[in-house]
Protein backbone atom coordinates (compact mmCIF):
# COMPACT_ATOMS: atom_id res chain seq x y z
CA UNK A 1 0.00 0.00 0.00
CA UNK A 2 1.29 3.39 -1.01
CA UNK A 3 -0.18 6.67 0.20
CA UNK A 4 0.21 10.40 -0.04
CA UNK A 5 1.94 12.03 2.94
CA UNK A 6 2.51 15.68 3.73
CA UNK A 7 2.01 17.96 0.74
CA UNK A 8 1.76 21.62 -0.07
CA UNK A 9 1.71 23.71 -3.20
CA UNK A 10 1.63 27.30 -4.24
CA UNK A 11 3.30 30.10 -6.13
CA UNK A 12 6.70 31.57 -5.38
CA UNK A 13 8.75 34.53 -6.60
CA UNK A 14 5.75 36.80 -7.29
CA UNK A 15 7.45 40.14 -7.86
CA UNK A 16 5.23 43.11 -7.07
CA UNK A 17 6.02 46.81 -7.01
CA UNK A 18 3.40 49.28 -5.83
CA UNK A 19 3.68 53.01 -6.27
CA UNK A 20 1.59 55.20 -4.05
CA UNK A 21 1.25 58.53 -5.79
CA UNK A 22 0.58 60.90 -2.94
CA UNK A 23 -0.04 64.57 -3.65
CA UNK A 24 3.36 65.63 -2.32
CA UNK A 25 5.48 62.61 -2.97
CA UNK A 26 5.44 59.02 -4.06
CA UNK A 27 6.29 55.96 -2.04
CA UNK A 28 7.53 52.59 -3.32
CA UNK A 29 6.71 49.15 -2.00
CA UNK A 30 8.72 46.30 -3.49
CA UNK A 31 7.76 42.76 -2.50
CA UNK A 32 8.51 39.19 -3.36
CA UNK A 33 5.53 37.06 -2.34
CA UNK A 34 5.14 33.32 -1.97
CA UNK A 35 1.93 31.45 -1.21
CA UNK A 36 1.57 27.86 -0.03
CA UNK A 37 -1.64 25.97 0.63
CA UNK A 38 -2.23 22.74 2.52
CA UNK A 39 -5.45 20.82 2.91
CA UNK A 40 -7.44 18.07 1.29
CA UNK A 41 -5.81 18.09 -2.10
CA UNK A 42 -5.22 14.34 -2.26
CA UNK A 43 -7.48 13.86 -5.28
CA UNK A 44 -5.30 16.19 -7.34
CA UNK A 45 -2.32 13.97 -6.69
CA UNK A 46 -3.84 10.51 -6.65
CA UNK A 47 -6.59 10.92 -9.24
CA UNK A 48 -5.26 13.79 -11.32
CA UNK A 49 -8.52 15.59 -10.49
CA UNK A 50 -8.03 19.36 -10.44
CA UNK A 51 -11.54 20.28 -9.39
CA UNK A 52 -10.31 21.48 -5.99
CA UNK A 53 -7.00 22.98 -7.11
CA UNK A 54 -6.71 26.75 -6.90
CA UNK A 55 -4.42 27.34 -9.87
CA UNK A 56 -1.13 28.89 -8.86
CA UNK A 57 -1.70 31.36 -11.70
CA UNK A 58 -4.85 32.44 -9.89
CA UNK A 59 -2.81 32.91 -6.71
CA UNK A 60 -0.49 35.23 -8.58
CA UNK A 61 -3.41 37.20 -10.02
CA UNK A 62 -4.91 37.48 -6.56
CA UNK A 63 -1.76 39.06 -5.15
CA UNK A 64 -1.73 41.73 -7.84
CA UNK A 65 -5.50 42.27 -7.70
CA UNK A 66 -5.64 42.74 -3.93
CA UNK A 67 -2.50 44.85 -3.63
CA UNK A 68 -4.28 48.03 -4.69
CA UNK A 69 -6.79 47.93 -1.86
CA UNK A 70 -4.90 46.03 0.81
CA UNK A 71 -1.18 46.73 0.52
CA UNK A 72 -1.49 49.96 2.46
CA UNK A 73 0.30 49.06 5.66
CA UNK A 74 2.90 46.57 6.85
CA UNK A 75 3.55 43.35 4.96
CA UNK A 76 2.25 41.39 7.93
CA UNK A 77 -1.20 42.91 7.38
CA UNK A 78 -1.15 42.30 3.63
CA UNK A 79 -0.07 38.73 4.29
CA UNK A 80 -2.99 38.27 6.67
CA UNK A 81 -5.45 39.52 4.03
CA UNK A 82 -4.09 37.00 1.55
CA UNK A 83 -4.14 34.20 4.11
CA UNK A 84 -7.79 34.89 4.92
CA UNK A 85 -8.63 35.01 1.22
CA UNK A 86 -7.22 31.56 0.60
CA UNK A 87 -8.56 30.08 3.83
CA UNK A 88 -12.03 30.88 2.52
CA UNK A 89 -11.53 28.16 -0.07
CA UNK A 90 -13.26 25.08 1.31
CA UNK A 91 -10.56 22.47 1.15
CA UNK A 92 -7.75 24.71 2.39
CA UNK A 93 -6.72 23.81 5.92
CA UNK A 94 -3.61 25.93 6.13
CA UNK A 95 -2.41 28.89 4.11
CA UNK A 96 1.04 30.44 4.43
CA UNK A 97 2.00 33.73 2.83
CA UNK A 98 5.69 34.62 2.94
CA UNK A 99 6.75 38.11 1.94
CA UNK A 100 10.13 39.73 1.50
CA UNK A 101 10.18 43.52 1.37
CA UNK A 102 13.01 45.21 -0.45
CA UNK A 103 13.85 48.71 0.74
CA UNK A 104 14.10 51.76 -1.46
CA UNK A 105 15.42 54.99 -0.02
CA UNK A 106 14.58 58.39 -1.39
CA UNK A 107 17.18 60.17 -3.53
CA UNK A 108 17.71 63.39 -1.60
CA UNK A 109 14.38 65.13 -1.25
CA UNK A 110 13.05 63.91 -4.59
CA UNK A 111 9.32 63.10 -4.46
CA UNK A 112 9.62 60.51 -7.23
CA UNK A 113 13.11 58.99 -7.35
CA UNK A 114 14.55 56.17 -5.27
CA UNK A 115 17.64 54.10 -4.66
CA UNK A 116 17.55 50.44 -3.71
CA UNK A 117 18.90 49.91 -0.22
CA UNK A 118 20.24 46.42 0.23
CA UNK A 119 21.47 46.52 3.82
CA UNK A 120 18.96 43.83 4.73
CA UNK A 121 15.61 42.39 3.75
CA UNK A 122 12.51 42.53 5.90
CA UNK A 123 10.52 39.33 5.96
CA UNK A 124 7.13 38.16 7.18
CA UNK A 125 5.39 34.81 7.16
CA UNK A 126 1.70 34.68 7.99
CA UNK A 127 0.17 31.26 8.58
CA UNK A 128 -3.54 30.68 9.04
CA UNK A 129 -5.50 27.52 9.68
CA UNK A 130 -9.05 26.57 9.01
CA UNK A 131 -9.64 26.69 12.74
CA UNK A 132 -9.22 30.44 12.55
CA UNK A 133 -5.80 30.67 14.18
CA UNK A 134 -3.31 33.03 12.56
CA UNK A 135 0.37 33.13 13.45
CA UNK A 136 2.61 35.95 12.40
CA UNK A 137 6.36 35.64 12.09
CA UNK A 138 8.53 38.57 11.13
CA UNK A 139 12.20 38.73 10.45
CA UNK A 140 15.32 40.05 8.85
CA UNK A 141 17.48 38.42 6.19
CA UNK A 142 20.91 39.14 4.81
CA UNK A 143 22.00 41.52 7.54
CA UNK A 144 25.79 41.25 7.47
CA UNK A 145 27.59 42.51 10.55
CA UNK A 146 31.10 42.47 11.96
CA UNK A 147 32.78 42.94 15.34
CA UNK A 148 36.43 43.92 15.35
CA UNK A 149 36.93 43.41 19.08
CA UNK A 150 35.08 41.80 21.96
CA UNK A 151 35.01 38.45 20.21
CA UNK A 152 36.85 35.45 21.62
CA UNK A 153 36.78 31.72 21.02
CA UNK A 154 38.69 29.54 23.42
CA UNK A 155 38.40 26.79 25.97
CA UNK A 156 36.94 24.33 23.49
CA UNK A 157 37.98 20.67 23.71
CA UNK A 158 41.01 19.52 21.76
CA UNK A 159 41.08 16.13 20.09
CA UNK A 160 43.41 14.57 17.54
CA UNK A 161 41.88 16.65 14.75
CA UNK A 162 41.96 20.03 16.49
CA UNK A 163 44.41 22.58 15.16
CA UNK A 164 42.60 25.87 15.81
CA UNK A 165 44.31 27.87 18.56
CA UNK A 166 42.36 29.59 21.30
CA UNK A 167 41.94 33.30 20.70
CA UNK A 168 40.67 36.10 22.88
CA UNK A 169 40.49 38.61 20.05
CA UNK A 170 39.19 37.49 16.70
CA UNK A 171 37.26 39.22 13.97
CA UNK A 172 33.65 38.03 14.02
CA UNK A 173 31.50 38.46 10.91
CA UNK A 174 28.13 36.93 10.17
CA UNK A 175 25.14 37.32 7.91
CA UNK A 176 22.23 37.31 10.33
CA UNK A 177 18.90 35.73 9.57
CA UNK A 178 16.31 36.32 12.29
CA UNK A 179 12.71 35.17 12.54
CA UNK A 180 10.52 35.97 15.49
CA UNK A 181 6.95 35.10 16.37
CA UNK A 182 4.58 37.73 17.62
CA UNK A 183 2.04 37.24 20.34
CA UNK A 184 -0.94 39.28 19.30
CA UNK A 185 -0.78 42.03 16.72
CA UNK A 186 1.62 44.80 17.66
CA UNK A 187 2.37 47.84 15.55
CA UNK A 188 4.32 45.78 13.04
CA UNK A 189 6.43 48.59 11.62
CA UNK A 190 7.37 49.98 15.00
CA UNK A 191 8.12 46.55 16.44
CA UNK A 192 10.25 45.57 13.47
CA UNK A 193 12.30 48.73 13.68
CA UNK A 194 12.77 48.39 17.41
CA UNK A 195 13.76 44.73 17.25
CA UNK A 196 16.20 45.44 14.46
CA UNK A 197 17.76 48.16 16.60
CA UNK A 198 18.04 45.84 19.57
CA UNK A 199 19.68 43.21 17.41
CA UNK A 200 22.29 45.62 16.07
CA UNK A 201 22.94 47.37 19.36
CA UNK A 202 23.40 44.18 21.38
CA UNK A 203 25.52 42.62 18.64
CA UNK A 204 27.78 45.66 18.83
CA UNK A 205 28.02 45.90 22.60
CA UNK A 206 28.32 42.41 23.98
CA UNK A 207 31.47 40.45 24.71
CA UNK A 208 31.20 37.36 22.50
CA UNK A 209 32.65 34.06 23.67
CA UNK A 210 31.42 32.26 20.54
CA UNK A 211 28.75 32.58 17.88
CA UNK A 212 26.54 30.43 20.09
CA UNK A 213 26.99 32.90 22.90
CA UNK A 214 26.25 35.81 20.58
CA UNK A 215 23.02 34.18 19.45
CA UNK A 216 21.94 33.75 23.04
CA UNK A 217 22.80 37.27 24.14
CA UNK A 218 21.15 38.85 21.12
CA UNK A 219 18.13 36.55 21.23
CA UNK A 220 17.63 37.00 24.95
CA UNK A 221 17.69 40.78 24.56
CA UNK A 222 15.10 40.62 21.80
CA UNK A 223 12.72 38.51 23.88
CA UNK A 224 13.46 40.46 27.05
CA UNK A 225 13.01 43.96 25.65
CA UNK A 226 10.11 43.25 23.31
CA UNK A 227 7.19 41.67 25.14
CA UNK A 228 5.34 41.19 21.86
CA UNK A 229 7.92 38.58 20.85
CA UNK A 230 7.25 35.01 21.97
CA UNK A 231 10.44 33.57 20.54
CA UNK A 232 13.16 34.34 18.07
CA UNK A 233 15.26 32.02 15.91
CA UNK A 234 18.64 33.35 14.89
CA UNK A 235 20.86 31.82 12.22
CA UNK A 236 24.44 33.03 12.07
CA UNK A 237 26.95 31.60 9.66
CA UNK A 238 30.47 32.28 10.85
CA UNK A 239 32.05 34.10 7.91
CA UNK A 240 35.65 33.36 8.72
CA UNK A 241 38.31 36.02 8.35
CA UNK A 242 41.76 34.51 8.75
CA UNK A 243 44.65 36.68 9.88
CA UNK A 244 47.05 36.79 6.93
CA UNK A 245 50.41 35.25 7.77
CA UNK A 246 52.86 37.95 6.75
CA UNK A 247 55.79 36.53 8.71
CA UNK A 248 57.42 35.05 5.57
CA UNK A 249 57.65 38.62 4.32
CA UNK A 250 59.08 39.98 7.55
CA UNK A 251 56.04 42.13 8.13
CA UNK A 252 54.01 42.41 11.28
CA UNK A 253 50.27 41.77 11.25
CA UNK A 254 48.77 42.74 14.56
CA UNK A 255 45.15 41.75 13.84
CA UNK A 256 45.00 44.10 10.87
CA UNK A 257 45.14 42.24 7.55
CA UNK A 258 42.60 39.45 7.09
CA UNK A 259 41.73 36.98 4.35
CA UNK A 260 37.96 36.97 3.94
CA UNK A 261 36.48 33.57 3.07
CA UNK A 262 33.11 31.98 2.46
CA UNK A 263 34.00 28.29 2.14
CA UNK A 264 33.70 26.56 4.51
CA UNK A 265 31.73 28.42 7.12
CA UNK A 266 30.46 27.66 10.57
CA UNK A 267 26.68 27.60 10.82
CA UNK A 268 24.94 28.13 14.12
CA UNK A 269 21.20 28.30 14.68
CA UNK A 270 19.12 28.48 17.82
CA UNK A 271 15.76 29.57 19.16
CA UNK A 272 15.45 31.72 22.26
CA UNK A 273 12.00 31.84 23.81
CA UNK A 274 9.90 32.98 26.69
CA UNK A 275 9.62 30.05 29.09
Residues of span 90-149 touching a copy of itself by CB under 8 A: 104-105, 107-108, 110, 112-119, 143-149
Is 147 tagged catalytic? no
- Residue 89: CB minimum distance to a copy of itself, A: 8
- Residue 21: CB minimum distance to a copy of itself, A: 7
Asked if residue 186 binds a copy of itself (CB under 8 A), the reply is no
Asked if residue 204 binds a copy of itself (CB under 8 A), the reply is yes
Asked if residue 268 binds a copy of itself (CB under 8 A), the reply is yes
Cα 147-230-140 angle, rounded to 5 deg:
40
Whole-angstrom Cα distance, residue 6 to residue 13?
Answer: 22
Is 150 tagged catalytic? no
Q: With contact defined as beta carbons under 8 Å apart, do 234 and 176 qualify?
A: yes
Which stretch in 76-84, 133-141, 163-171, 187-195 sits in contact with a copy of itself by CB under 8 A? Answer: 163-171
Q: Assign 182 to helix, strand or coil.
A: strand
* One of 78, 182, 188, 203 touching a copy of itself (CB under 8 A): 203
Is 85 tagged catalytic? no
Interhelix angle 188-205/211-225, nearest 10 degrees = 140
- Residue 128: CB minimum distance to a copy of itself, A: 18
Which stretch in 64-72, 74-82, 128-136, 182-190 sits in contact with a copy of itself by CB under 8 A? Answer: 64-72
> Which residues between 232 and 251 bind a copy of itself (CB under 8 A)?
233, 237-238, 241, 244, 246, 248-251
Q: In terms of C-beta density within 10 A (0-12 exposed, 13-18 middle, 19 or more buried), how is residue 54 classed?
A: buried
First to last CA, the chain: 43
Per the document, the length of the chain is: 275
| Tally of CA atoms within 13 A in the half-sphere of 143 that contains its CB | 19
Residues annotated as catalytic (active site), given as ranges: 11, 56, 240
Amino acid sequence: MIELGANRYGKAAIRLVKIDRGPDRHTVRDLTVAIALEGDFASSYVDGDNSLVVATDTMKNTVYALAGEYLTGPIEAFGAVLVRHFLAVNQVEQATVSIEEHDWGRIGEAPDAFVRDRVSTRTAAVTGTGAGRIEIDAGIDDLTVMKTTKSAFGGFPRDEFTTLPDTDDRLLATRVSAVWRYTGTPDFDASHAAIRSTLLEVFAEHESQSVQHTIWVVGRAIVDRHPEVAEVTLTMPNLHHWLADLSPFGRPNDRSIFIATTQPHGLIEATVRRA
